[in-house]
Amino acid sequence: MSEQRHERHEEGGPAGRRVVVVGAGMAGVQTAVALREQGFDGTVTLIGAELHQPYDRPPLSKAVLLGKAEHSAFDVDFEGLGIELVLGREVLGLRPADHELDTETGPVPYDVLVLATGAEPIRLPGTEGVPGVHLLRTLDDAERLRPVLARQHDVVVVGAGWIGAEFATAAREAGCAVTVVEAADRPLAGALPAEVAAPMTAWYADHGVDLRTHARVARVEAGAVVLDDGSRLPAEAVVVGIGARPATAWLAGSGVALGAHREIVADACLRTSAADVYAVGDCASFPSGRYGERLLVHHWDNALQGPRTVAANILAAATGELPAVYDPVPYFWSEQFGRFVQYVGHHADADSTLWRGDPSGPAWTVCWLREGRLIALLAVGRPRDLAQGRRLIEAGRRMDAEALADPARPLKDATATP
């Protein structure tokens, strides 16, 4: 921390307030950086449980896993920005009435607190501590999995979600024999309707991955996964990718309101039920005015955009200005089986779908429409559709269904004439 910066922090008043951010992942780091970018002049302390320099997670199932990148540390000059980084310290509790956190090494006071503790992977029951069973959430997890790929082991992946598909892709690229076990009837069953997931099923076989749907793991034994139909799958390593849940157990008894998925229930301005406490990223849900429902988003872009609103609202609260509302069009991407898959917006079961292009081909898009307006879009190898669709969704434009269905026509030219 520079001398000059340090002196300015000692000045007191609203600008001299102390903001403490819990969780040094994407959302926590971006909150600390956004506070400085937006001119916050008080103390910023960022506390993270992991010992590593804060890092980005998407490369963990891609370049880092394959050894194409050593790490994915954020390129942020914490010292230069006057951000006090406290690593390797787990926060154990929160006492909002005292404006204090409890940590392994004692209490930490705050004026304003930001909860950004992210999510943790769901474990397969009965496999905790079983050798050869892996999760993929942290840099340590990725480092443990690298030798598995390097030795070209037989691998069983449990769960055909985003992480399962990306790990299977990397493992095939490394030369492993890969079986993916999925309890549902298709990949991505929790995220996409059957008609959209159907063409994705073929991607597994095309890449030499044995996808077993309607399959449940009965137990994991040394060197094998046993399914509930009795079949034994050879497995020198098992990778569990069955979802993640908000890392909020430490908030028990704090009085901070949690939702059905144990997520922190934030309001439209990302404030929690406790005074001076905000929440952002994978750990929190917020009400979406745009989609008319509460959203719990476990994707990178939300951990980038949300922090800007939190930082703005911390500054607004200090000066008595009105807080900003967080109402994004969610976005995420996935790289799997040689394809770049992007999704923008948010759809419900009742929304109608419309296809652009042949789903058995390398590039296609599916659009979701509500009352004639584009509200979500999944683009496979069509990044231009994604970019144009995002703007149309943000603007709430009505679409011409016939023009929209023609993949040769730019999406931006498929709006309905008013």
Ligand X SMILES: Cc1cc2nc3c(=O)[nH]c(=O)nc-3n(C[C@H](O)[C@H](O)[C@H](O)COP(=O)(O)OP(=O)(O)OC[C@H]3O[C@@H](n4cnc5c(N)ncnc54)[C@H](O)[C@@H]3O)c2cc1C
Q: List contacts with ligand X (CB under 6 A).
A: 22-28, 47-50, 57-58, 60-61, 90-91, 116-119, 136-137, 163, 247, 250, 281-282, 298-301, 303, 332-334
Q: How far is the CB of 332 from ligand X (least distance, A)?
A: 3
Structure-block tokens of residue 255: 């009085």
Q: How far is the CB of 299 from ligand X (least distance, A)?
A: 4
Residue among 36 and 409 whose Cβ is closer to ligand X: 36
Neighbours of 393 (CB within 10 A): 23
DSSP-assigned letter for residue 110: -
Residue among 136 and 329 whose Cβ is closer to ligand X: 136
Q: How far is the CB of 106 from ligand X (least distance, A)?
A: 14
Residue among 237 and 399 whose Cβ is closer to ligand X: 237
Residue among 27 and 227 whose Cβ is closer to ligand X: 27
The single-letter code of the amino acid at 132 is G
CA-based nearest residue to 309, from 279, 285, 282:
279
Edge to edge, the sheet with strand 210-212 lists: 133-134, 237-240, 154-158, 177-181, 210-212
Q: What Cα–Cα distance (Å) separates residue 204 from each residue in 155, 177, 270, 335? A: 14, 12, 39, 13
Q: How far is the CB of 383 from ligand X (least distance, A)?
A: 14
103-107 long-range contacts (CB < 8 A, ≥24 apart) are: 103/47
Q: What is the rounded CA–CA span in Å between residue 47 and residue 216?
A: 39
Residue among 41 and 300 whose Cβ is closer to ligand X: 300
Residue among 82 and 118 whose Cβ is closer to ligand X: 118
Q: How far is the CB of 50 from ligand X (least distance, A)?
A: 5
CA-based nearest residue to 27, from 60, 74, 61:
74
Q: How far is the CB of 162 from ligand X (least distance, A)?
A: 7
Structure-block tokens of residue 129: 């501590």
Q: What Cα–Cα distance (Å) separates residue 332 from each residue in 18, 297, 299, 300, 367? A: 33, 10, 6, 7, 15
Residue by residue, DSSP assigns 228-272 as TTS-EEE-SEEEE-S-EEE--GGGTTS---B-TTS-EE--TTSB-
Q: How far is the CB of 230 from ligand X (least distance, A)?
A: 32
Residue among 33 and 49 whose Cβ is closer to ligand X: 49
Q: What is the rounded CA–CA span in Å between residue 357 and residue 57?
A: 32
Residue among 286 and 369 whose Cβ is closer to ligand X: 286
Q: What is the rounded CA–CA span in Å between residue 238 and residue 278?
A: 37
Q: How far is the CB of 357 from ligand X (least distance, A)?
A: 22
| Secondary structure (3-state) at 280 | coil
Residue among 204 and 300 whose Cβ is closer to ligand X: 300
Q: How far is the CB of 219 from ligand X (least distance, A)?
A: 26
Q: Which residue has the tokens 């394959």?
A: 66
E strands in 90-249: 91-95, 100-103, 106-109, 112-115, 119-121, 133-134, 154-158, 177-181, 210-212, 217-221, 224-227, 232-234, 237-240, 244-246
Residue among 143 and 406 whose Cβ is closer to ligand X: 143
Q: How far is the CB of 65 from ligand X (least distance, A)?
A: 8
CA-based nearest residue to 374, from 347, 338, 413, 335:
347
